[in-house]
Amino acid sequence: MIEINNKNDSEHLIFASEKPTMKEAIEEAISLGVSLEDASIRGEDLSGLHVENGNFSQADFYQSKLCNAVIIKCDFNQANLSDVIFSGAVIRDTDFSFALFLGANLTNCKITGRTNMRGIDTAEMVASQKEVPMLLKALRIEIVVDVIKKPMQKWWGYKHINGHFQVKRELGPLTSGDIEDAMDSPMAEWVHPMPFDARGRDGALRIIEELYNKQHKS
């Protein structure tokens, strides 16, 4: 059995699969609509992974291989992609804003559509000398600016004991178990269980911090 656990709490199981490989387990989880936010997926060979509409925000992919992967309309906001090999991957309409790309290898990658790499230092990425100008041009001109106004969505959140705020999408009854787990977790200093409206993750993070400060105003 393949298990995918939370990066902040190794005992918090996010998803379990009877599939023989981590690649197939991830594909199964995404096909079932399971969020892999905050997942620990370090050092895995995920070559040939094919995912669409997957939530990998703040997940840890350190030193994993995503060679020849097909990644469409996924969320890698603030994910750790350090030393990840993306060689030959096809990436389209995906959010990598503020992800960590230190040492990530994008050789022969095809990055298209409204892929968002806002807040990314392109100097951190590894590419062949021939591809560097093309890659930088793509990132700066076609990809970085996303002018589409994000729709309002429901969120909930908490403050981790490390001082960082975390937000998650509110998905009705499916969310109640996650909120209860957070309230019982020693890793959560404070939890705001009531859903609130925000436009995108950045907006939700600003609101959850404001809610915390309002409740803890001396």
Please say which residue of 148, 182, 197 terminates a domain: 148
Same domain, 144 and 174: no
Nearest residue to 46 via CA among 75, 87, 8: 87
The mean predicted confidence, pLDDT, of the chain is 83
Domain-terminating residue out of 127, 148, 169: 148
| 144 and 167 assigned to the same domain | no
Report the alpha-carbon distance of residue 177 to residue 152 in Å, rounded: 23
Whether residue 92 sits in one domain with residue 55: yes
- Residue 46's CB is within 10 A of a number of other CB atoms, namely 23
Same domain membership, residue 14 and residue 110: yes
Task: Indicate whether 124 and 182 sit together in one domain.
Answer: no
Would you state the pLDDT for residue 145?
33
pLDDT in tens, 157-175: 999 999 999 998 887 776 7
- Tell me the residue range of the domain where 201 lies: 152-215
**Residues 90 and 169 grouped into a single domain:** no
pLDDT at 134: 52
| Residue scoring higher pLDDT (134 or 12) | 12
Domain boundary among 120, 148, 176: 148
Judgement on whether residues 131 and 178 belong to the same structural domain of the protein: no
- Look at residue 127 in the predicted model and tell me its pLDDT: 55
- Whether residues 9 and 40 share a domain: the answer is yes
d(CA 201, CA 80): 16
Indicate whether 143 and 163 sit together in one domain. no
Residues 119 and 92 placed together within one structural domain of the fold: yes
